Amino acid sequence: MTIQELREKRAKAWDTARDFLDSKRRPDGTLSAEDSKTYDALEQTIVDLGKEVQRLERQTALGAELQSATSAPILGKPASATTEPEKSGTASAEYSKAFWNSIRNRNFMDVSNDLQIGTDSEGGYLVPDEFERKLIEALEEESIFRQMATVIKTSNGDRKIPIVTSKGEAVWMDEEEQYTLSDDTFGQASLSAFKLGTAIKVSEELLNDSVFDLPTYIAREFARRIGAKEEEAFFVGDGKGKPTGIFHATGGAEDGATTAGANISFDDVMELFYSLRSPYRKKAVWVLNDSTVKALRKLKDGNGNYIWSPSVSAGLPDTILNRPYKTSSYVPEVKAGAKCMAFGDFKYYWIADRSGRTFKRLNELFAMTGQVGFLASQRLDGKLILPEAIKTLKIKGA
């Protein structure tokens, strides 16, 4: 079955679930226990088909990558100079070779001099430039937040970002009347560099196996661990030793709406939608938990249309009120007093990556079990630079 056929099948499954919901909904807007169970099964089919579409899309992309040319065509004329400038420092081929030889502990004395240019202040070694780009790509794949936010690199601990806190304005004037000065007011936000690290153990047999792709394994495992922890902080971090999350009461996004009851209604979603100023709505995205999406699938607008719509075309996401959404398990669920969803332009959340990720090899700590440990760390910070660019929905307290 093709991807398009699966999308159409998913859309038909949603039509079936929607019709069932309309026909079985009681006057008070709820379903009986039996009907609720049936509807949950129909909805699970929609979710499963969606995952299968995503799986086939990844498979197609991988197939296209594997079928692509393994080398670039020769375009230059014979005898013409096509050599690139020799790279230096941590970008050089010598440094990259020495780095991975040191990680595998091969000929360590021979490569120690080459690694001096990348020695970290804490005794580890900065990863080669090409590998760092691989790490960044892996982190972006793991984290939905990095795909939406603005990511910058810093060379030191703090980064000052100027912000216009209030703007001047024009005034009506009579002929020959003196102009009125109206200045912009500037403030600034500071991004620090908090340390996030993890320890990895690898058996000596794997390290000595030339077939084992050590760089890919470390990149994938580093991305899984670091990506999960940093995304949690970007959503709910308190700013103490970690980034400040958008759902945190201090330094996070502004409250756009508060529900009238314990559950989310269509009016609540509309109030959140229009609490965001029009310039930000043009690029706004919903962010919520999967359980919240499930609740929103049952909501209708004033014309009886469901506010959740499935995608039936390639490249177009599912939408809520015709705006795309992303889900994360780190977004709080619907419960009294919690902020359970956000809507806004996440480009105004800035992530500052301090240049250089570090690895350190531990030879003796796990020697008794025939393993070698690695410490991997990076420094970063994240903060919502303009609070009005993202609004949150808060559930009424008990």
What are the boundaries of each domain within the chain?
Answer: 3-58, 124-164+185-289+328-398
pLDDT tens-digit series, residues 266-293: 999 999 999 999 999 999 999 999 999 9
pLDDT tens-digit series, residues 161-213: 666 656 667 777 778 777 777 665 656 677 888 999 988 888 877 777 766 67
C-beta neighbour count of 299 within 10 angstroms: 20
CA-nearest of 294, 273, 289 to 343 is 273
Ordered DSSP codes for 5-57: HHHHHHHHHHHHHHHHHHHH--TTS---HHHHHHHHHHHHHHHHHHHHHHHHH
CB 260 within 8 A of CB 267: yes
pLDDT 10s digit of each residue in the chain, 398 long?
888 899 999 999 999 999 999 999 888 888 899 999 999 999 999 999 998 988 888 888 777 777 776 656 656 565 555 556 667 666 677 767 666 666 666 444 444 444 444 455 544 445 566 666 676 677 776 688 999 999 988 876 676 666 665 666 777 777 877 777 766 565 667 788 899 998 888 887 777 776 667 777 777 888 888 889 999 999 999 999 999 999 999 999 999 999 988 899 999 999 999 999 999 999 999 999 999 999 999 999 888 899 999 988 877 889 999 999 999 999 999 999 999 999 999 999 999 888 767 878 787 888 888 888 888 888 899 999 988 999 999 999 86
* Global pTM value: 0.75
C-alpha torsion angle, residues 125, 128, 134, 138 (rounded to 10): 10
In the chain the beta strands, taken as DSSP E runs, fall at 125-126, 150-154, 159-166, 185-191, 194-203, 254-258, 285-288, 308-309, 319-320, 323-327, 339-344, 349-354, 358-362, 371-384, 390-394
